Structure 1
Amino acid sequence: MNESCPVLSPDERQYVDIQGRAEHAMLATIYAAIEKARQQAADELSSVGSELTPPAYDYFAAVAHQKLFLLLCGADPETFMGGNPDIAARIIENGRNISDHYWVGRAAKSDPDDPSN
């Protein structure tokens, strides 16, 4: 048996398929919620006549990321109290591993909105 890519049993395949659909639906909900928050802030600023630029999509994604990080660490997402520093370190290391694997060595763009970079 090839241990790097095992053949799944029918029950295991069904489980993976169900989990994948649930994950896809969850992520679609999260992305939609981030966009809804961005749009809500823009609409409310506009309704009060503000000329200030509304928070960007990335701002709300970062807020969600921070709260989920705290949740994963076992900390209170409102007070930041509690939590396991070992789990936090492992999550941060996971982020570093993703960065190293996919992005290290790629030239950084000076302006991410400039397609010529």
Structure 2
Amino acid sequence: MAGLDSKTPIPTAFKLHCRSGMLDVTFNDGKTFKFSCEFLRVYSPSAEVRGHGPGQEVLQLGKKDVSITHIEPVGNYAVRLDFSDGHNTGLYSWDLLYDYGLKQEAMWQHYLQRIEASGGSRTTTTL
């Protein structure tokens, strides 16, 4: 993960839409990204999801209805998101959120392909 520098856009607003399960993040360069809670959960930057190195990623199943229950600022560089399934160990830095916003569609399609290839489901946790 790249460190923050003077060019890293900084969030100016987080807006959680509980009914739709969407989190809007607005940055100081004027961009606003809309993330589903499911997307943020399955792409958590935690070791539990990412593993400890390339190729160790753990496919997250059954996260379609997960929601964000709490947003906790971490210093001036990140937020920790608490999810309804109990997961809360990922720190979402400003640069990570911005990068996710730019690459979200491709990342989502890759996730859906991995789910299909595994025979898994977005609604159940078993294969």
Give the TM-score normalised by the residue count of structure 2: 0.21
The structure richer in strand per residue is 2
Structure with more contact order per residue of length (Cα contacts < 8 Å, sep ≥ 6) = 2
The structure richer in helix per residue is 1
Give the TM-score normalised by the residue count of structure 1: 0.22
